Amino acid sequence: MKFISALIITFVTLFSLVSAHSSMLYPPVRGHPKNPNTAVQDFACIIAPLNGGGGCNPKPFPCGGYPMDKKVVTTFKAGQVIDVKFFNPNFQNIKTANPNNDQARHNGGLCEFALSYDGGKTYTVIATYHKTCPDIFFENWKVKIPENAPSCDNPGKCIFSWSWINAVGAREFYQNCADIKLVGNSTEPLPIIDITRANLPIFKNTITPEGDPKNTGNAKGF
């Protein structure tokens, strides 16, 4: 009986760990079960950090190792402001969900959005959110494509990246990548402004960003 109880506790703990995580939903993400153009569908671990855990194996950097989409259908224009959305399979109906329930917000942390023109080797950070990111209960995570972003129509190379380093809990690193096309006017490349790389063995450094214990959604910046 004690063994069965221990198994139940372990299962609940693992489920809670996974349900607490999140993934980017829009723009459509490589490997995401809700992306109709994804080359693979990872139902179990798309919301897990690259570190693994909760029954998920570690995933490689960059982009979790997911292959590029079979078809690239998302196009952004230089200067465009987009609303990034997040996903958690245990909170399908946001209207009936309780924001006070623990969906592993981890008190937010450091959230960065970036563009890559070389398939995730180098990045240009274009928006940084502090403390309260991500959160499926806020749909207006505003990110502006730089006015001087050059065009990019090279499948597999043009990436919109979301990365997150949580403030509370195990030191983790999340990243999702969306295959996109960019329409711009500039002929000059964007300057390299690298994403924060931490909390994975290949990065060799560990950080704990500032968090927002109240999880109000007000401690974020555009």
pLDDT in tens, 137-182: 666 788 999 999 999 999 999 999 999 998 888 899 999 999 999 9
| pLDDT tens per residue, range 210-221 | 887 765 554 444
User: What pLDDT, on a 0 to 100 scale, did the predictor assign at position 25?
Assistant: 93
Going along the chain, which residue ranges are E strands? 23-26, 75-77, 81-87, 109-116, 124-131, 141-144, 159-166, 174-179, 181-183
Determine how β-strand 181-183 pairs with β-strand 141-144: unpaired
Q: Which fold has domain 2-183?
A: Coagulation Factor XIII; Chain A, domain 1 (2.70.50)
| pLDDT tens per residue, range 183-216 | 998 999 999 999 999 999 999 899 999 887 765 5
Identify how many contiguous H helices and E strands the chain contains and give both numbers: 1, 9
The Cα–Cα gap between 18 and 42 comes to: 13
Confirm whether pTM is higher than 0.75: yes
